Amino acid sequence: MRTVGHPRLSLDDLRTVCDTGRMVMASVSKGIRTPETNPQRLGGHLVLVTGVSASGDVHFNNPSGHTSATRKAVLPIGDFERFFGGRGVSLGLRPLSLSAPLVVDTRARPAPDDRPPSRSRARTARVYEATAPAPPRGAPVTGVLTTDHPAWVETTDGGHARAVRTATGIWALSWDSAGLHLRCVSGTEDVKPQVVSTDPACLPDTVPAELNAGLCGLGPTQRLANGWLWDAITTAILRQVVRAGQARKLYRAWCSEYGTTVDSPYGELTVAPSAERVLKLEDEQFASIGAKFHRSGLKAAAEHYVRDGLTWQRLNAGDLTAALASVPRIGPWTAAAAACDFTGDFSAYPHDDLAVRTWAAQIAPAHPWPGKKDKSFRPMWTALAGPDRTALHTLTLSTLTWGSHAR
């Protein structure tokens, strides 16, 4: 990832990014108020620039907003620059000509009071392309792949491959030394899989030095956000009360037996059975693959998904977690895991998860971590990231990625 100095936010750059279908994600450590345009609290964490008008107005979404009034806003470029750029914010771009993100960094500019920004402030105010459409073929995403989803299988050449369903088709993906490659193998290419880029170098100083060093040693990571909410729900349910290795085998048996198989350059790949298909399965069919315990949860989830799935897909990670938790046999952990898998936002992850505890302790064994059953771990973990939910996302997902590569 390259970083270059830049004195101010560029309207032309914003237009270029929006015109090419990319999004800019901004993260600011403190909320701002814009009484002249919106009395509600804006900003705080994530800002996605979605368009720039001919008159220079910047259209952006604020998915971290707590009310619908805060989730969309329009500001003149000057106000956008003042409210965000003046807080040490950088502008993340991915022009089509680049195979890796270009970060235009404004952190070196003086703060509004003419003092250089402090190190902690500079590290908690970030803008980067954390979520963007997957690049076109010929411009692979590179870095470290997060392989927490059980659909990823190892290929004969030491890489990884999986199939993923989006709203318009099934895609075969592979990862090798050249990066991530995508090919639509069924349906149309209208809706492409989404890749979430995470860089632990953006973590704040509140993260313990030993943990920070271990995660930074991993480097930038790439995770495929699940393109199909139903698969994310299915995966989370099949992970209930079983170890990770067993859940992986169970998921693959589930997809192979009742799902859809597609041919790909990497061999046969499978995706999960649809909710409608699940509702037609007999009890014996669940038991035959070892999913007898999960039958009632999958059936209940399928019934609700058929009815509410389209609404759920429009929710952010926090609201989606709450909606899923209302389904019988989907508890808080399962709901949060599914929401994070689908949205790609791991700030909503169940941070006291055993995996997070285990890998954090292995990365930083000298740190005084709470015991495995100590409920103080979750508030301690979120405090390490500070008020910036992007930092919490990065801290959690980087830790989980470290663990998947440590096995």
Which pLDDT belongs to residue 83?
52
Q: Give 98-150 pLDDT, tens digit per residue.
A: 222 322 222 222 333 333 333 333 322 222 233 333 433 334 445 789 999 99
342, 320 contact by CB (below 8 A): yes
- Within 10 angstroms of residue 131's Cβ, the number of other Cβ atoms is 18
Quickly state the pLDDT bin for 188 (edges 50, 70, 90): very high
pLDDT at 365: 95
pLDDT band at residue 296, thresholds of 50, 70 and 90? very high
Mean of pLDDT values over 373-388: 93
pLDDT-derived band at 312 (thresholds 50, 70, 90) equals very high
Tokens 């991915």 sit on residue: 94
The pLDDT value recorded for residue 373 is: 82
Paired strand residues for 164: 171
Give CA angle at 217 (215, 219), nearest 5°. Answer: 80
Query: Residue 349: is its pLDDT beyond 90?
Result: yes
At 57 the pLDDT is 64
Question: Three-state SS string across the chain, please?
Answer: CEEEECCCCCHHHHHHHHHCCCCEEEECCCEEEECCCEEEEEECCCEEEEEECCCCEEEEECCCCCCHHHCEEEEEHHHHHHHCHHHCCCEEECCCCCCCCEEEECCCCCCCCCCCCCHHHHHHCEECCCEEECCCCCCCECCEECCCCCCCEECCCCCEEEEEECCCEEEEEEEECCEEEEEEEEECCCCCCEEEEECHHHCCCCCCHHHHHHHHHHCCEEEEECCCHHHHHHHHHHCCCCCHHHHHHHHHHHHHHHCEEEEECCEEEEECCCHHHHHHCCHHHHHHCCCCCCHHHHHHHHHHHHHHHHHHCCCCHHHHHHHHHCCCCCCHHHHHHHHHHHHCCHHHCCCCCHHHHHHHHHHCCCCCCCCCCCCCHHHHHHHHHCCCHHHHHHHHHHHHHHHHHHC
More confident of the two residues 142 and 302: 302
Least trusted range by pLDDT, from 12-21, 81-90, 253-262, 301-310 = 81-90
Q: For residue 82, what pLDDT band results from cuts at 50, 70 and 90?
A: low
Q: Rank 182-191, 250-259, 382-391, 395-404 by mean pLDDT and report only the highest.
A: 250-259
Instruction: Supply the mean pLDDT for the chain.
Output: 75
- Rounded CA separation 128/390 (Å): 10
Protein fold of 195-265+275-406: Endonuclease III; domain 1 (1.10.340)
- Residue range 226-274, pLDDT digits in tens: 999 999 999 999 999 898 899 999 999 999 999 999 998 888 999 999 9
More confident residue, 3 or 280: 280
Is pLDDT larger for residue 103 or for residue 379?
379
pLDDT at 56: 61
Amino acid occupying residue 151: A
What number of other Cβ atoms are within 10 A of residue 318's Cβ?
18
| β-bridge mates for residue 173, sequence order | 162, 182
Provide the whole-model pTM: 0.67
Residue 12 has pLDDT above 60, yes or no: no
89 or 193, higher pLDDT:
193
- What pLDDT does 244 receive? 87
- For residue 51, pLDDT over 90 is answered with no
pLDDT band at residue 173 under the 50/70/90 scheme: very high
Domain boundaries, the chain: 2-92, 195-265+275-406
Share of the chain above pLDDT 90, in %: 54
b/e map of 290-303 (b: 16 or more CB within 10 Å)? ebeebbebbbebbe
User: Is it the case that residue 374 has pLDDT exceeding 80?
Assistant: yes
Is the model's pLDDT at 58 over the cut of 70? Answer: no
Q: State percent of the chain over pLDDT 70.
A: 65
Mean local confidence (pLDDT), 175-185: 89
Low-confidence winner among 50-54, 257-261, 354-358, 401-405 (lowest mean pLDDT): 50-54
Interval 15-38: pLDDT, tens: 554 444 333 444 333 333 333 333
Backbone phi, then psi, for 399, in 5-degree steps? -65, -45
